[in-house]
Amino acid sequence: MLDKIFPKIHSEGYKFIVISVVITIVFYLISNFLGLLGLLLTIWVYYFFRDPERISINDDNYLTSPADGLILSISETEGPKELNLENKKFTKISIFMNIFDCHVNRSPCAGKVDNILYKPGKFLNASLDKASEDNERCYYKISNKIGEDVILVQIAGLIARRIVTETSKDNNLDQGERVGMIRFGSRADLYFENYQPIVKVNQKTIAGETILARK
Q: What are the pLDDT digits (tens) for 169-199?
A: 999 999 999 999 887 668 899 999 999 999 9
Is pLDDT of 2 > 60? no
Is pLDDT of 29 > 80? yes
Q: Taking residues 55-80, what's their average pLDDT?
A: 95
Q: Taking residues 35-62, what's their average pLDDT?
A: 90
Return the domain boundaries, the chain: 2-48, 62-214
**How many Å apart are CA 61 and CA 207, to the nearest integer?**
17
- Supply the pLDDT for residue 160: 53
Q: What are the pLDDT digits (tens) for 86-120?
A: 999 999 999 999 888 988 999 999 999 999 999 88
Q: What are the pLDDT digits (tens) for 132-154?
A: 677 889 999 999 999 999 999 99
- Supply the pLDDT for residue 9: 81
Distances (CA, A) of 74 to 5, 95, 106, 202: 34, 9, 19, 10
Is pLDDT of 128 > 80? no
Among 56, 65, 127, 186, the active-site one is: 186
The per-residue pLDDT of the chain, averaged, comes to 89
3-state secondary structure of 191: strand
**Which residues, including other chains, have CB under 8 Å from residue 211's CB and lie 6 or more apart?**
57, 62, 63, 64, 65, 198, 199
- Please tell me the class of the 62-214 domain: mainly beta
Of 64, 69, 85, residue with least CA distance to 197? 64
Q: Is 31 a catalytic residue?
A: no
